[in-house]
Amino acid sequence: MYDTQVIVVGAGPTGLTLGIELARRSIAFRLIDAAEEPSRGSRGKGIQPRTLEVFEDLGIIRAILKAGMPYPRVCLHPGPFSLRLGPLGGRNQATERVPHPNLWLVPQYRTEEILRERLAQLGGQVEFGTAFEGVSQRMRGVQVRLSTGELVTAEYLIGCDGGHSAVRKALGLGLHGETLKRETAFVADVNVDELDHTDWHVWPFAKGGSIGLCPLPDPDHPSLFQMMSPREPVEGIESAIQRVAGCHVSRIAWSSMYRPAVRMVDRLRLDRVFLAGDAAHLHPPTGGQGLNTGVQDAYNLGWKLAHVLRGGPESLLDTYEAERLPVAAAVLGLSKQIYRTRSLKRGETTNQLRLHYRTSALSSGKPLGGLHPGDRMPDVRLADGTRLFEQMRGTHATEFVMREGTRILIRPDGYIASIGKQPVTAFAGEPIHPIDASGTDFDPS
């Protein structure tokens, strides 16, 4: 007998996304976090277009869009004059295929609040103040020791507990890669009076290293900025900002130090224990990839865990590592490149819309125009006026039947499993929502 089916360690964006995926599929789980209360830091603030599509499926897109804003323009202050550049990610128009084309700025604490609210709607909760202390694996499950003194048995354990992951350390897995800078960098959330809130202000030649102040959307604190610096200012935050911007700091809400690095594990699974998010791969903040990659780890793993726990073949879980490990490596390479070049350019690679699983064991069939098995399925306006993404929303797979009997089977996570004319046989036991798209003007190119 098991006490629960899954134990998820870590209630950041990755763990919360996984909790939602399990909760909406009626899988019993416990989501624990060592912290006594939720963090209030902005941390990862950039939500990529692909993650916005994930959040639409999870039912939180309206709240996320309302809580955030488009990325502001970058305003450089190299000396007595200022230079305005474009915003990160540009200003792209939504299209039928890409409904959320732009990088969206939401402080991480607000993203986590929205995810927790959605989890509560589904009957789940976070157990704060409960730490993971150890695990022993058994033939058909795991026994997990908690800081409460409990010994909890479950079928699977998922470590989503960040860069200092206790679960990863318990497995004896190391993070391989490199530190990009020896010195620790500094980030803080500060209220800065009298500073223009429409631009991301950067003083590249400030004494002691560049200082950036990025405005954050917060109705309770309309002058809130995220401060970034290569090191903690020697004279203090208030004095440093007064020196470069001539503005008064009225409040320091949160601060943290980190060492920019690109590191990852060489495996995501050890028997019945999995790793996801920063527990498996560490990114520098440049490029806005870390939070997004973690959310999509959870989005990939959640439906597979549920399928197996409902009686599906356990071999499906092997595809998690096979699909996500190469993605993590590719994204880390991109993060490293952006960090070293300081490039402001963003596109379909950074927005994660081009990430695919073409070589996955779950991808079969032949390409249809420019669309391959394993690709993200684009949005489509259907003949009845609804959007394909609206029809895909939920826990089911989707079968998109086109002219001449061509069938596109779309996985629960929105990627194409197969393209062909044969009836669907994959995901036996999973609900499949059929869509007659024969009257739809769909161009797969």
pLDDT at residue 348, as a whole number: 65
- Reported confidence tier of residue 425, pLDDT bands at 50, 70, 90: low
The domain spans of the chain are 6-68+106-177+262-341, 70-101+183-258, 364-436
Nearest alpha-carbon partner for 20 in 301, 226, 221: 301
Residue 347 confidence (pLDDT) above 70 = no
Q: Which CATH superfamily groups domain 6-68+106-177+262-341?
A: FAD/NAD(P)-binding domain (3.50.50.60)
Q: Which residues contact 416 (CB under 8 A, 6 or more apart)?
A: 363, 371, 372, 373, 374, 375, 376, 377, 408, 409, 410
How far, in Å, CA of 157 to CA of 9, rounded?
8
What mean pLDDT is predicted for residues 26-33?
A: 98
Instruction: Give the mean pLDDT of 141-149.
Output: 98
64 and 55 Cβ atoms separated by less than 8 Å: yes
Rg of the chain over all Cα atoms, to the nearest angstrom:
22
pLDDT, tens digit (0-9, with 9 covering 90-100), for 206-263? 888 899 999 999 999 999 999 999 888 989 999 999 999 999 999 999 999 988 888 9
pLDDT value for 102: 94
pLDDT(101) > 90:
yes
Q: How many CB atoms lie within 10 A of CB 36?
A: 8
CA distances for 269 relative to 162, 265, 394, angstroms = 16, 10, 26
Tokens of 5: 């089916």
Residues in the chain: 445
Exposed e or buried b per residue across 179-192, where buried means at least 16 C-beta atoms within 10 angstroms of its C-beta: ebeeeebbbbbbbb
Picking from 38, 44, 42, 7, the residue whose alpha carbon sits closest to that of residue 22 is 7
Q: Tell me, what's the pLDDT at 185? A: 87
CB 167 within 8 A of CB 132: yes
Name the strand (E) or helix (H) holding 165: none
Q: Give the DSSP H or E segment for 199.
A: strand 199-203
Confidence of residue 112 (pLDDT cuts 50, 70, 90): very high
CA–CA gap between residue 409 and residue 423 (Å, rounded): 10
Place of tokens 């990939």: 300
Lowest mean per-residue pLDDT among 219-233, 338-352, 368-382, 392-406: 338-352
118-127 tens-digit pLDDT = 999 999 999 9
Considering the four listed CATH numbers 3.40.50.300, 3.30.300.30, 3.30.9.10, 3.30.70.60, the one that applies to the domain covering 70-101+183-258 is 3.30.9.10
- Please report the pLDDT score of residue 323 as a whole number: 98
CATH top-level class of 364-436: alpha beta
Q: What angle do CA 301, 302, 305 make, to 5 degrees?
A: 80
- pLDDT confidence of residue 283: 86
Distance separating alpha carbons of residues 385 and 383, to the nearest angstrom:
5
Q: Tell me, what's the pLDDT at 426?
A: 62
Give me the helix-helix angle, 290-309 and 49-58, nearest 10°.
40
In the predicted structure, residue 439 carries a pLDDT above the cut 90 = no
Q: Residues 306-311: what's their mean pLDDT?
A: 95
Give which of 249, 268, 401 is closest to 329, Cα–Cα: 268
150-178 average pLDDT score: 97
